Amino acid sequence: MHPQSISQVWDQVTGVQAAPSGPIVWATAAIALLAVWPRFSWHYTRNVVTIAHEGGHGLAAVLTRRKLHGIRLHSDTSGLTVSSGKPHGPGMVLTAAAGYSAPPLLGLGGAWLISGGHITALLWAVVVLLIAVLVMIRNAYGALTVVITGGICFAVSWFGSEQVQGAFAYLSVWFLLLSGVRPVVELQRKRRHGGAPDSDADQLGRLTRTPALLWVTLFFLIGLACLAAGARWLLTR
């Protein structure tokens, strides 16, 4: 999409774009799987999942009227979202539960937009969300990661052809849907070996006086449900 007037840009964002061909849809799914499954690629692509994870914590904190102080993203793909408010209650529970739920739910929302043909709208929505996260980033590495991710999304949405936008949108959504499951499996593996005593699941267990494994299972089921529903939308478009 080349530089245009505001009205033309608005028409493009709110308009309906054609879906890529079947082979491209399947190819983007395969590439997304390669970005998530092998350890060497996951070490880098997991940074994108961390943005969504910590962004989920931040959004939940704001929506539950907690005070959001900032977000930090680290080079080891971990992250930290700091908010203040009641150390217990629904607001704290929702904030803690939003992290692992955010990537698959974002993927599901993206699949829904794609099913309606709103591919450009999806890309712009991602850019807006990344700008909102960037405002709350409190370290240089985190800012660089968000800027690069947002810059790629903006460049594709502004300069990419309809075919390029479509392929990129499908790839991004497949990635979010597939990456909603692996972090949960990694979390439970760490917990099984005595690691991550302060994980989101363990914090939720203490907050709600329920087994942490219950929350791990819930995160896993959310990821699987979003993957199943999102894949159906993507493959039947």
Only one residue has tokens 């800027």, namely 147
pLDDT in tens, 28-77: 999 999 999 999 999 999 999 999 999 999 999 999 999 999 999 999 99
Q: What is the pTM of this model?
A: 0.91
Nearest to 200 by CA among 147, 20, 214: 214
Q: What is the reported pLDDT for 98?
A: 97
The chain-wide mean pLDDT, for the chain, equals 93
Say how many C-beta atoms besides its own lie within 10 A of residue 94's C-beta: 18
pLDDT score recorded for residue 76? 93
Q: Among candidates 234, 224, 229, which has minimal Cα distance to 119? A: 234
4-24 tens-digit pLDDT:
566 666 666 777 888 889 999
pLDDT band at 3 (very low <50, low <70, confident <90, very high): low
Give residue 1's pLDDT: 47
Q: Phi/psi class of residue 11: alpha, beta or left (left: φ > 0; alpha: ψ in -120 to 50)?
A: alpha
If you average pLDDT over residues 97-105, what whole number do you get?
97
Q: Which of 5-19, 145-159, 213-227 has the lowest mean pLDDT?
A: 5-19
- For residues 204-226, average pLDDT: 96
Asked whether the predicted pLDDT for residue 149 surpasses 60, the reply is yes
Residue 124 has pLDDT above 80, yes or no: yes
Q: What is the pLDDT of residue 4?
A: 56
Please report, rounded to a whole number, the percentage of residues in the chain having pLDDT higher than 70.
Answer: 94
Q: Mean pLDDT, to the nearest integer, of 127-153?
A: 97
pLDDT for res 16:
81
Instruction: Kindly tell me if the per-residue pLDDT of 185 is higher than 60.
Output: yes
Query: Which residues pair with residue 71 across a beta bridge?
Result: 81, 137
